[in-house]
Chains A and B, each alone.
Chain A
Amino acid sequence: MDYDVIVIGGGLVGVSIAWGLSRCGQRVAILDEGDLANRAARANFGLVWSSSKGLGNAAYSRWSRTSAAKWHQLAAELKSETGIDTGFVQSGGFSIRLTPMELERGIASMAKLAGQPGMEAEGTPPLEYEILDQAETRRRLPLVGETVAGAIYSPLDGHANPLRLFAGFHKALKQRGVHYFPHRKTTAIRHRAGAFEVAGEGWRLGGGKVVLAAGIGNTGLAPMVGLSVPLSPSRGQIIVTERLRPFLSHATGYLRQTDEGCVLIGESKEATIDHQRPRGPITAVLAERALRTFPLLRDARAVRTWAAFRVVTPDGYPIYEQSERFPGAFAFACHSGVTLAANHALVLPRQISARALSEDLSVFHSRRFHVPAAA
């Protein structure tokens, strides 16, 4: 057996888990595809955001809030290991609402979310938020446009630099001696005598455990080890501007200024994975809403747009599961790889090492999708 754990997928979910496993003393290998793989880790928006998540699933709200709370530790440890600053800021986030109707809907949805049973738990920061009317929004964010109707503010939210986070994990893994194998697309996983053999074109690797963290690729890999990762098509699109003088230190739900000065504007949701070409009409609507939010951006120059596919399950909540037929095989699929990076790096690896996912995560098993069709 070559490794204790083989992680399939070198994106953000894969590397955060691999780093955590290495901290647990496991011998880890990461298998990755090539440069142009579907890679959400290079396309994401960079929010560390929990306040509005989990409507319909209190466990997801708690899971997101605990991860956001653990981000300080993650950022500090990565910095001390690699010198790379992930740019994490948790100064509170604004969910800006452009029209009265948007504000009304936001308020209703937050009330519903907060009123769900099971929102509070020991060790989880309580859900805190404020509703800001037009005047208060302008007081706190003086540069917002005159027509902005209001905002929902939560001190739990923030943002980070997802590319430096990604680079930081890779650098730390290299220093820790974790083996990273790019250009190795997994085509088969076999179970033999309690261990796993992962193979592709012209190579194979043995491991005691296997973690599927291949994003959209998980759908195809999961059945090889008795797991299931159903996903829904979802494409998002982002605009990025040239570097601008700092004007916004808080994250907002769809617009943020990075610590390098660029402004990111996202994000759209289209139920398709047809192609990754940015679409004109989406670009137009994103830009128009950004200008209503911060009119001073009118002359800011966009240098790039991109579209990428999200890893989203049919109900929007993540999948965390271990195979019952082949214990030691795990599959994970989630959309919020940045927010959840702290849990993936600091919480999940202990459970994988111990070959037992915690009871809290049972709600994220894919069996929730296996509803027998009505007769």
Chain B
Amino acid sequence: MIQDLQSAADLAPAYDLVVVGAGPAGLSAAIEASTHGLAVLLADENESPGGQIYRSVERASDADLTRMGPDYAAGRRLIERFRGADLSYARRATVWSVGPADEETGDGTHALAVGISFGGIARPIAAHRVILATGALERPFPFPGWTMPGVMAAGAAQILMKSSGLVPSGRTILAGTGPLLYLLASQLLRAGVSVTAVIDTTPVENWRLALPHLLGFSASSYALKGLKLLLEVHRRTHVIRGVTAIEAVGSEQFSALLVRRGNKSLHIEGDLLLLHQGIAPNLNLTLAAGCDYVWDERLAAFRPAVDGRGASSVPAVSIAGDAAGIVGAVASARQGELAGLSAALDLNRIGHGVYEQRRAQHAQKLARALRGRTFIEHRFRPGKTFRVPEDDGTIICRCEEITAGKLREVAALGVPGPNQMKAFTRCGMGPCQGRLCGLTAVELLAQFRGVPPGEVGYYRLRPPIKPVTLGELAALPHTEAAILAVAGFVERAHDGAQDATHGRNQ
């Protein structure tokens, strides 16, 4: 049985393994590692396990399950296994830093330190191993009007549906590309929502790039499901394909979508616009941990550099699931198992024989689960103009309201990369720490310079990757050396003060 931790006081000072994220990858990693006797903490931000895909699946009614489809319902079995595992679970907990143990406060045996905020209290936790299963983020979808009220991310709509059973009441338009767009359309239609239109922005030329991979795809589990989904959506609403540009209009509130298809224009009225153009690995924690990353042209996104077992460039830190590259729920679970198994091997809880045997099983299942991905990636890769808006007035950074024009102005100064661009404009400095603008800003700069995004690089991320109150930070352990470094001397009640050893006179 899992231990459902209630407060920071229930946290142990150290664990063999800390897993971050309770989606398919994190749950599977935690289960696998605990099976082999590791002391595991799984920390997750949400109320209940499941991640984005299986959000609230335990509480779902039969009607919910029918509406959301069989892939959603499948989460129940995984969560049941998780509930039966021998590990600690901290829900509504935020992991805001991961990195090598501090040179001063580290215990000398645990390689890593994890900063966690749980029930309003921040704690440092020592760990031998960390598996980051932080999932994916919806890719930014910047076009004129995308930040106005009445326009929202499809993922956010899905969260409302899954966690509160809330569905949109007005005329709803969906726009974008990717399988999840059609999945959401079908879920909304089944829930009785008035879906006026699905505006498909998938570039027409994607077919040509995807075609060579059609065979692999048609043999995958995605093919039949995808086809059924497409047919269902096409039958029940108006689908407009080959869209080349969109603009949301309205006075203070979204009222219509202007759609361009080549040289034809359409005006579609609606009350709510839901956007989706694929997902990208959620990198903030992995980058803040110092993990190397690469540009993945097929995903049109950065992903952490990992080996076949999910090991990152930072010793003892592994990454599994969509956080390491978009692979979907089933493959994520397999990657999680592999990472959990590797942790057990690294910590000598299993021998090489057991490891190899199980690894081979997992690897085989993983390969099967990955079938068809290449086709999907090529087929639904969002077009360049939807990734980097040509219109200079379009907002890129929502937190700081920085437009594409402002970024181009600064790019023209010759900024060496996105971090200098950020310093000059504040793009990416807000509470989201670049989650909503990072990809766009980097691609814009790369386009401006005529180099691949990989050459431009990404934001340097620092803890806390999610906001933490000063009150919480202040209550973290202090050391004498740290006081000396900040105050210049340490006051002691009995024998006066001890001074810092180096100059503070400038």
Shortest Cβ distance from A84 into B: residue: B424
Residue from A56, A171, A282, A303 in contact with B486 in the complex, judged by beta carbons closer than 8 Å: A282
A99 to B483, CA, bound (A): 14
Residue from A174, A239, A268 in contact with B473 in the complex, judged by beta carbons closer than 8 Å: A239
Known: A170-B424, A269-B502, A315-B503. A281 touches B469 (CB 8 A): no
From 489 to 506 in chain B, residues with beta carbon under 8 angstroms from any chain A beta carbon are 489, 491, 497, 500-506
Residues of A at the B interface (CB closer than 8 Å) are 10, 32-37, 41-42, 53, 55-56, 60, 98-99, 101-102, 105, 163, 166-167, 170-171, 174, 180-183, 232, 234, 239, 241-242, 254, 260, 265, 267-271, 274, 277-291, 297-306, 312, 314-317, 335-336
Q: What 4 pairs between A and B have smallest CB-CB spacing?
A: A35-B417, A316-B506, A301-B467, A182-B416
A290 to B475, CA, bound (A): 12
> Are B501 and A271 neighbours in the complex by a CB distance under 8 Å?
yes
> Are B500 and A269 neighbours in the complex by a CB distance under 8 Å?
yes
Residue from B100, B103, B486, B506 in contact with A285 in the complex, judged by beta carbons closer than 8 Å: B486
Within 8 Å of chain A (Cβ to Cβ): is B107?
no
Known: A60-B506, A271-B502, A281-B478. A291 touches B102 (CB 8 A): no
> Are A36 and B417 neighbours in the complex by a CB distance under 8 Å?
yes
User: Which of chain B's residues have a CB closer than 8 A to the CB of A254?
Assistant: 486
Most buried by A among B104, B471, B475, B481: B471
A69 to B104, CA, bound (A): 42
A163 to B424, CA, bound (A): 6
A34 to B414, CA, bound (A): 11
Please count the residue pairs between chain A and chain B whose beta carbons lie under 8 angstroms apart in the complex: 192
Known contacts A281-B104, A302-B464, A303-B429; 8 further A-B pairs (Cβ under 8 A) = A167-B424, A242-B431, A284-B474, A286-B473, A301-B468, A303-B433, A305-B464, A315-B505
> Are B415 and A36 neighbours in the complex by a CB distance under 8 Å?
no
Q: How big is chain B's contact interface, by range?
A: 35 or more
For the residues of B in contact with A, the DSSP-based class is loop
Known: A36-B460, A277-B99. A174 touches B470 (CB 8 A): no
> Are B506 and A335 neighbours in the complex by a CB distance under 8 Å?
yes
A49 to chain B, nearest CB (A): 11
> Are A32 and B473 neighbours in the complex by a CB distance under 8 Å?
no
Within 8 Å of chain A (Cβ to Cβ): is B113?
yes
> Are B485 and A303 neighbours in the complex by a CB distance under 8 Å?
no
> Are B470 and A297 neighbours in the complex by a CB distance under 8 Å?
yes
Known: A280-B115, A288-B478. A174 touches B431 (CB 8 A): no
B176 to chain A, nearest CB (A): 29
Within 8 Å of chain A (Cβ to Cβ): is B347?
no
Shortest Cβ distance from B101 into A: residue: A280
Residue from A42, A278, A289 in contact with B462 in the complex, judged by beta carbons closer than 8 Å: A278
Shortest Cβ distance from A240 into B: residue: B429
> Are B470 and A239 neighbours in the complex by a CB distance under 8 Å?
yes
> Are B463 and A278 neighbours in the complex by a CB distance under 8 Å?
yes
Most buried by A among B429, B463, B473, B488: B473
Within 8 Å of chain A (Cβ to Cβ): is B389?
no
A274 to B457, CA, bound (A): 23
User: Which of chain A's residues have a CB closer than 8 A to the CB of B505?
Assistant: 53, 55-56, 315-316
Within 8 Å of chain A (Cβ to Cβ): is B413?
yes
Known: A269-B502, A289-B487. A284 touches B497 (CB 8 A): no
A98 to B476, CA, bound (A): 20
A254 to B410, CA, bound (A): 30
Known: A35-B457, A317-B506, A335-B506. A269 touches B485 (CB 8 A): yes
> Are A282 and B485 neighbours in the complex by a CB distance under 8 Å?
yes
